[in-house]
A and B are shown apart, each in its own frame.
Chain A
């Protein structure tokens, strides 16, 4: 019973966090800000939901697989945002008006021409 409650709580929390991530995706002003939302919210949200699910599982293998899935999510989510962010920066995607500082200098490339990236 406690397990059920804990499980449900975790799942509800996780689902709400993914909702927050999705909201951030829509509401935040530039790509990088959205990246924050997608990476952090989605990762923790998923971790919580899967943990909630793991509580419900009777099969040890399933629990192990869910745990593995959470670990993998922690490993891969930041990679995705890192690569997308770097690509976005390199291809000259506009930063929001709230941006006050940009210390990242992409390597000078004389042939660089930003293609249409939309």
Chain B
């Protein structure tokens, strides 16, 4: 069965691929899998009807850990009926489509500008349908057929849901196939969202049911008949899915809109098959769940409401197709009541009527399609008198119409009789109320059916109808599907007893007690009398139809209410989304930061609430008086940096804080940190000034200070929280730091006495590798932005470019002889010191970082002395090469051990005994540090040259976008 379903999707791919080339012939690909299915059904039918269903399971996601998805199919009698309808009508629709899309109407201007379309304009332009993309259309159509087949065969909630949603999706594409039409797009969207949303409710309901029943198999769930609150909720959800799919009141509104689709789609999806999915579901579940509290009220009320509303609306339509669409809502309402009420006889009648409905509704739609296709109109006012012109069409439509009206000797009559009888004979207390409504609904059905046929085929009422005269006669192949289906209503009606017996075997699949009989003549009984009432009532309605039509169109307003409610909620969602998003995603960075700080505060508060308390016994005011004093001084500078309204002052105070930090590091026993901090702070000040030199010294006045107190409060509270947290975490250690092992291993195994440096280049060298890469990235990021500045300068030489005046480019007098001379003296010393620090770092404070930063400081001095010119040839070396080289050294040093079977970054110690040098210890990690040194130099050079003197900075871009 999976293969069979699969062939539809293969056909869909073929259709999509060849649709443009083959034109209407592409429908052969649509027909092929239908034929295959029909053949398969024929082969399986005898066994299935004898009560031995065919099953197949395909495990999609295996169930080792409890979660499993399986595609499970089961062909029982009811499934056979539905599959037969899907494939049989599908085949006819495919044949029909070939004529519908191919015959005389080649578009005048193929695939050219698409004129704005007039929605359901009374007279459409010739060839407006052939403009649709036949590849997409046929692919969606055949994919739909496959999905529908999968749906009716599904025996697993996952399988059911998969195909359920697929039918919604394919229906979306089919309704919106004429996508230049705004109304079609809207209709498609409404249909998708209503049925898709219902599908999600269905999913939830099914999962709940399956968990209550302990199985995902539908037959298993039905057999388990779970009960309880969860089940009641689940049932509501399942019914929500079913009623939306079957366009039942109050979700009916999408169906008339769906008539935007080409007629074959309307006939196939929106009358014969897809809308029946809900009926199928209700029919399957009714025997097991009709007795749950929510079931009957929902099913009966919605069904009857749809019956009456649809009938009323159908009477008022002036468009032949819309009249049928409303009729579909009405008849589906009746079907819902019948299959859902949970009375075996009614179930039987419902299934028979389902067959009858498919047989009469599809040809009626197809007939409208023929007329529309030949005459380019569906307006009753422009039609009439077609019986003489196209008698075959009229006769076939007539048979179908009679069946729809429930008149003998059609199948529709037999089934309606059975339905009335089933309800009348049942023992439910409210049967007469239901019957009454059904009678009224049936009378309306009678009336609109008669009206429909008479207005099209009956004698003309309007003399100005000239369209009819111009229409060419439809080809035989075009009318054939209509005729076949129309006359089937008659034939099946005449053969209603044998047909009824087959239907009985099918109904057993749902409910073993539903095996009833069908006949044209069951004697004079309640049902027959009621039919008489229906006919009489119908005639009365026809008589007074003009009166009815003149009255205020209550039905229209009620009918629109669903659509309006939907559109309102759609708009509500959209505008609500905008309001919410406008509020949450304000686009303002200060707000974002404040909110983030607020969340941090909340987290800290939560920690305090759940008992985060410092152990104050381990807390002293300060570790030393000096530390206390430095802390106080730093305190002052922090406040200063935060409040001073001037850029340079703030930068300098930040620098002061940095130096204070260095002092604290020093006192804490962290000379490496102090050294690095000092260097970094110094370089930071230079970079700050380089970047900000042109900005006004004063900060712009804050735009709104309303929030200032709030921001201060939040941030201040975060500060308090952090202090609390620090005191808590710092006084309650549960484990030991690995520093002890590091101290033991540092010299023995790693060959260095400076533990911090050994950690950096060896124990935790990977951190360092990442961190130098971060540094390299920062440098190339700076260079990249500098290149962007240069690009924009070259393009727009307006302000603030003119105001821009780098320090070394103004008057010669800005150079300083003194600075030049001192720089010359100091620079070599700086370089020597850097080399010293780098190589000494393994044993004493220093290392590649510190060394590289010292060089950076030296470069900064030179740069400040005279801009890039003072860097001489150094400024011409692309700093990226230096960076790349340094990175290469470091990473290669880390990788080489892998080649000799050691670990990544594993360092080796070589004790060399050289003739002159004596014993020399070489640690391979030193090369790693050398790479760091080189890289840091490159980074400093890049930042200085790129951020500093951008006019003379070396161009690092390969080509400038121009």
Contact = CB atoms under 8 A, between A and B. Distances in A.
> Touching in the complex, A and B, CB below 8 A?
yes
B816 A116 contact: no
B809 to A, nearest CB: 14
A109 B811 CA distance: 10
Contacts of B697: 115-118
A91 to B, nearest CB: 11
Interface string B843-871: 00000000000000000000000000000
Nearest to B817: A82
Contacts of B696: 115-116
Contact of A107 (B811, B816, B829): B811
A79 B698 contact: no
29 contacts: A68-B829, A72-B826, A72-B829, A75-B822, A75-B825, A75-B826, A76-B822, A76-B826, A78-B818, A79-B818, A79-B819, A79-B822, A82-B816, A82-B818, A82-B819, A83-B819, A86-B816, A107-B811, A107-B813, A109-B811, A115-B696, A116-B646, A116-B696, A116-B697, A116-B698, A117-B697, A118-B646, A118-B649, A118-B697
Interface in B26-75: none
A97 to B, nearest CB: 25
Interface string B680-722: 0000000000000000111000000000000000000000000
B552 to A, nearest CB: 77
Contacts of B818: 78-79, 82
Contacts of A75: 822, 825-826
Residue from A72, A76, A79, A83 with most neighbouring chain B CB atoms (10 Å): A79
A83 B819 CA distance: 8
B832 to A, nearest CB: 10
Given A79-B816, A115-B697, 6 more contacts: A72-B826, A75-B826, A82-B816, A86-B816, A118-B649, A118-B697
Interface of B: 646, 649, 696-698, 811, 813, 816, 818-819, 822, 825-826, 829
Contacts of B811: 107, 109
B175 to A, nearest CB: 68
Nearest to B830: A72
Q: Which bracket fits the contact residues of A?
A: 10 to 19
B633 to A, nearest CB: 13
A107 B815 CA distance: 13
A83 B829 contact: no
Contacts of B816: 79, 82-83, 86
A78 B825 CA distance: 14
Contacts of A78: 818
A3 B367 CA distance: 121
Contacts of A68: 829
Nearest to B811: A107
Contacts of B646: 116, 118
Interface in A76-118: 76, 78-79, 82-83, 86, 107, 109, 115-118
Contacts of B829: 68, 72
A118 B696 CA distance: 11
Contacts of A83: 816, 819
A78 B698 CA distance: 29
B438 to A, nearest CB: 90
Nearest to A78: B818
A76 B699 CA distance: 32
Contacts of A79: 816, 818-819, 822
A79 B826 CA distance: 12
Contacts of A115: 696-697
A17 to B, nearest CB: 20
A105 to B, nearest CB: 11
The 7 closest A-B pairs by CB, nearest first: A79-B822, A75-B822, A116-B697, A82-B818, A107-B813, A79-B818, A79-B819
A72 B698 CA distance: 35
A81 to B, nearest CB: 10
Nearest to B823: A79
Contacts of A118: 646, 649, 697
B867 to A, nearest CB: 15
A117 B826 CA distance: 30
A109 B698 CA distance: 24
Contacts of A107: 811, 813
Contacts of A76: 822, 826
B815 to A, nearest CB: 11
A60 B940 CA distance: 32
Nearest to B840: A61
Nearest to A87: B814
A45 to B, nearest CB: 18
Interface string A48-80: 000000000000000000001000100110110
B625 to A, nearest CB: 16
A86 B818 CA distance: 12
Nearest to B864: A83
B742 to A, nearest CB: 26
A78 B817 CA distance: 13
Contacts of B825: 75
A86 B696 CA distance: 21
A104 B272 CA distance: 102
A107 B813 CA distance: 8
A27 to B, nearest CB: 19
Nearest to B803: A111
A118 B698 CA distance: 9
Contacts of B822: 75-76, 79
A59 to B, nearest CB: 11
A70 to B, nearest CB: 13
B261 to A, nearest CB: 72
Contacts of B698: 116
Residue from B649, B813, B816, B822 with most neighbouring chain A CB atoms (10 Å): B822
Contacts of A116: 646, 696-698
A76 B646 CA distance: 27
A18 to B, nearest CB: 15
A78 B819 CA distance: 10
A35 to B, nearest CB: 14
B496 to A, nearest CB: 101
Contacts of A72: 826, 829
A117 B825 CA distance: 32
A36 B698 CA distance: 28
A109 B825 CA distance: 33
A34 B550 CA distance: 102
B445 to A, nearest CB: 88
A72 to B, nearest CB: 7
A115 B648 CA distance: 13
B831 to A, nearest CB: 14
A60 to B, nearest CB: 14
A79 B829 CA distance: 17
A78 to B, nearest CB: 7
A116 B698 CA distance: 8
A80 B604 CA distance: 46
Contacts of B813: 107
B701 to A, nearest CB: 14
B822 to A, nearest CB: 5
